[in-house]
Amino acid sequence: MKNMKNKMRLKLKPYVEQITDPDRHAGKSMYICPLCGSGSGSVEYGSDSDGAFSVKSDGVTWHCFSCGKGGDIFDLIREYEGMKDFKEQYAKAVEMFGDSDALQGDDSGMS
């Protein structure tokens, strides 16, 4: 199960690209924060026009320099989708990125 969890962590960038837009000015690794809206240029979010949300070079972790939140794909699913339970977060990742075999078997590596 741990192997499947690690495979899902590698899906961070595709997930980010599904839920937010890249910052056109800051380069490929900066995005509008899907949690606080930083980088949208909207007055509602303090007119911050620079993307503050980044996917780290390891490809499995993210950080927003504006709201200070960060983590892996499961942390982002928890924050963005409002899912507190890890099993729900994991099921959501599997639903989005496939690998139904990942949901079968024991739960030993799920938390």
- pLDDT above 70 coverage of the chain, percent: 73
Q: Which long-range contacts (CB under 8 A, 24 or more apart) does 71-76 make?
A: 72/9, 72/12, 73/8, 73/9, 73/11, 73/12, 73/15, 74/8, 74/9, 76/12, 76/15, 76/16, 76/34
In whole angstroms, give the CA distance from residue 52 to residue 24: 12
Task: Please name the residue that has the structure tokens 């690209």.
Answer: 17
Per-residue confidence (pLDDT) for residue 2, from 0 to 100? 78
Could you count the other beta carbons within 10 Å of the beta carbon of residue 68?
A: 9
Which residue(s) pair with 22 in the sheet?
31
Neighbours of 30 (CB within 10 A): 19
pTM of the model: 0.78
pLDDT in tens, 47-88: 456 678 999 989 999 999 999 999 999 999 999 999 999 999
Most confident by average pLDDT, 19-23, 60-64, 107-111 = 60-64
